[in-house]
Copies of this chain bind each other. A is one copy, B any other.
Amino acid sequence: MAGKVEARKAALRQKLVEAAEIRIARDGAGALRARDLAQDAGCAVGAIYNVFDDLTAIIMAVNGRTFQKLGAAVEASVAGAEAEPPSRRLILMSNAYLHFAVENTKLWRAMFDLRMAAGDAVPEWYMTALDDLFANIARPVGELFPDKDPGEAALMVRALFSAVHGIVLLGLEQRISGVPPERIEQMIAQVLEQIGSR
Contact = CB atoms under 8 A, between A and B. Distances in A.
A122 B175 contact: yes
Contacts of A126: 175
A85 interface: no
The A interface is mostly helix, strand or loop, or mixed, namely helix
A166 interface: yes
Contacts of A183: 155
A162 B156 contact: no
A130 B167 CA distance: 16
B188 A159 contact: yes
B187 A195 contact: no
A188 B166 CA distance: 13
Contacts of A187: 155-156, 158-159, 162
Given A191-B195, A194-B195, A198-B194, A170 B160 contact: no
Interface in A165-198: 165-167, 169-171, 174-177, 179, 183, 186-188, 190-191, 194-195, 197-198
A164 B176 CA distance: 14
Contacts of A122: 174-175
A129 to B, nearest CB: 11
